[in-house]
Chain A
Amino acid sequence: MATQTPYEVLGVKPDATADEIRKAYRKLAKQFHPDLNPGKPAADARFKAVSAAHDILSDPEKRARYDRGEIDESGAERPRHSYRPHAEGAQGWKYRPEGEMDVGDLDDLFEMFGRGGPGGARRGTRGGRGGEGFSMPGPDRHYSLTIDFVEAATGGKQRLALSPDEWLDVTIPPGIEEGQILRLKGKGGPGFGGGPAGDALIEVHIAPHPFFRREGDDIHVELPVSLSEAVLGARVPVPTVSGPVTMTIPKGSDTGARLRLRGRGIHRKRQGKEVTGDQYVTLKVVIGASDDPELAKFLEDWAKQHPTNPRGEMGQATHGAAA
């Protein structure tokens, strides 16, 4: 037999008014009062129960807490039944919404998010022990590959050795950039439970070149020219990423002069469009035979008639600061 509720102890209904409760209590308290029932332990127990019931029901706050199940008949706190542990526990399945996947069919989860079919995880085999038809793609594998400057500019093919008898053939697209990652679909780790293989991710590094330098799709190079080539003009071979070409040095060129070889930079497709960079050639006059007596004699006479100061303001500033 369960413990009596305070309402039962007082013999009132759960929706009894405060007045009804007070009246019921007074009546029972008189009936079972220990002074009126000496030597009757049963009456004493009833009196205590009636007092305890009244204690709860006469206080609107306690009564409300009792009604909400927060305290028990003796006024002690009841443990709260938080719903979440139940909902997430083994019994929670009972209140699943309609259409919730069956136990053991994870594919329904993917389908629920619209990932079913060929694009999503492959359909596992239903049934069997446990019925877990679980499959997932294999892991991606990461590699690093260093290629030379010209190959990065023009593209090419590389073979990346993974072990003595395992390799990946990698196509380098023209104009690949430092740190760019090439993805080879299906070349990673094997899939799990019939899932597709992962991908190979190859991070490409570009070795620096002795004289080429890259800025976007343009190639820059510093071209040494002789004094006579600079002064008199000349046609000289110039290296480009796609092989040497002949370039005209205009008469009277100087160190620092920049010439453009149109269309001799990087040629590639970007967002579906063909783009072509240029090559910029910066001249650097190299005297070479600076200890040649004939040149020295010529310049002695020449300098007397053509006094020049290439330092310009730089020289004056130095002079001024020293004074």
Chain B
Amino acid sequence: MIAFDELMRRFAELNAAELSRWVENRWVVPETATEEGGERWVFHEVDVARVELILDIRREFAVDDEALSLVLSLLDQVYSLRRQMRRLCDALEQQPPEIRDAIRRALPPAGGHGG
């Protein structure tokens, strides 16, 4: 859990206006902590990793904000699917063996729609 300034110091290639814009775009969603003197942003590990991800994508693929927005949206969809798959798999894991077998049999082979 780190603050805005600390995050800025952590990634020298990041500038404050940029990070503020990312937060505005909701590409990065820090927690808002209220303390005397107003609100401040607190970045959790997932947020720091996301900042690093955005920096990486932007640098490696030289994409502008619009393309970045699309890339992030696609990435978020993929991760969302992966999380849901994981949940489904976890639920299946807890089923009795005969149910798991039935599902295994009902699964069409990968790469096709059954036969």
Query: Which A residues lie at the B interface, using CB under 8 A?
Result: 2, 5, 7-8, 14, 66-69, 80-84, 86-89, 91-97, 100-101, 106, 109, 132, 134, 136-140, 189, 192, 198
Contact indicator B46/A86 (Cβ below 8 Å): yes
A94 to B26, CA, bound (A): 11
Contact indicator A5/B52 (Cβ below 8 Å): no
Contact indicator A88/B46 (Cβ below 8 Å): no
Contact indicator B50/A139 (Cβ below 8 Å): no
Cβ–Cβ < 8 Å partners of A83 in chain B: 49-50, 52-53
Nearest first, the 4 closest Cβ-Cβ pairs linking A and B are: A139-B102, A91-B46, A87-B79, A81-B49
Contact indicator B10/A69 (Cβ below 8 Å): yes
**Chain B interface helix/strand/loop/mixed:** helix
A123 to B25, CA, bound (A): 36
Cβ–Cβ < 8 Å partners of B39 in chain A: none
Q: Does B68 belong to the interface (CB within 8 Å)? A: no
Contact indicator A69/B99 (Cβ below 8 Å): no
**Chain A interface helix/strand/loop/mixed:** loop
Contact indicator B83/A93 (Cβ below 8 Å): yes
Which of A7, A81, A95, A138 is in CB contact (< 8 Å) with B48? A81
Cβ–Cβ < 8 Å partners of A80 in chain B: 52
Q: Quote the shortest CB–CB distance from A195 to chain B (angstroms).
A: 10
Can you show 24 pairs from A to B with CB atoms below 8 A apart? A8-B9, A14-B12, A67-B12, A68-B55, A68-B59, A69-B10, A69-B11, A82-B49, A83-B53, A86-B45, A86-B46, A87-B82, A91-B44, A92-B83, A94-B29, A94-B46, A95-B76, A96-B76, A97-B76, A101-B84, A106-B88, A137-B102, A139-B102, A192-B99
Contact indicator B49/A138 (Cβ below 8 Å): no
Contact indicator A86/B29 (Cβ below 8 Å): no
Given known contacts A83-B49, A95-B76, A67 and B82 CB-to-CB distance under 8 angstroms:
no
- Taken residue by residue from 35 to 60, chain B's Cβ proximity to chain A (1 for < 8 Å, 0 otherwise) reads as 00000000011101110110100010
Contact indicator A67/B83 (Cβ below 8 Å): no
Additional A-B contact list (19), CB under 8 Å, known A82-B49, A87-B46: A2-B9, A14-B15, A66-B12, A67-B12, A68-B59, A69-B10, A69-B55, A81-B49, A81-B52, A83-B52, A86-B45, A86-B46, A87-B79, A92-B83, A101-B84, A109-B84, A136-B99, A137-B102, A139-B98
Q: Quote the shortest CB–CB distance from A288 to chain B (angstroms).
A: 55
